[in-house]
Copies of this chain bind each other. A is one copy, B any other.
Amino acid sequence: MLIELKPMQALTLWKEIAISEVRDDAHDLTMRQLAVLLTVYLEPPPHTIRGMAAKLGVTKPVITRALDTMGGYGLVDRHRDDKDKRNVLVKRTVKGALYVEKLGDLVIAKARGLPL
């Protein structure tokens, strides 16, 4: 659990992660794409385009395009809702789960290395 995280530590953690993302990230995800990805993998389904657009405070095409890009990477999948065929449900993939898991490990590793 997080206890007494100080401003300097918080910023250092954020900086280290940002640099790691810039240096190593193969997919070069946007902040918006990252927000979409983590929402899909951390919040309970179902995930619709409209719902995610509302949650992130962006327009629907932003979500559609983010899913296009990340779908191309194999990080997410989507198909029509059988109940209401207007809806599109975003699904998780094995590849995406591995990617998210690696991201979590990175945050933890960087958090451990923080100076006192």
Residues of A within 8 A of B (CB): 1-15, 17-19, 21-23, 29-32, 34-35, 38-39, 41-42, 55-58, 100-101, 103-105, 107-108, 111-112, 114, 116
Copies of this chain held together in the complex: 2
Q: Does B55 contact A100, Cβ atoms closer than 8 Å?
A: no
Interface SS of chain A: helix
Q: Does A19 contact B111, Cβ atoms closer than 8 Å?
A: no
| 13 extra interface residue pairs, beta carbon distance < 8 Å, beyond A7-B108, A30-B31 | A1-B9, A3-B3, A7-B104, A7-B105, A11-B42, A11-B103, A12-B42, A13-B107, A15-B35, A18-B38, A19-B55, A23-B56, A23-B57
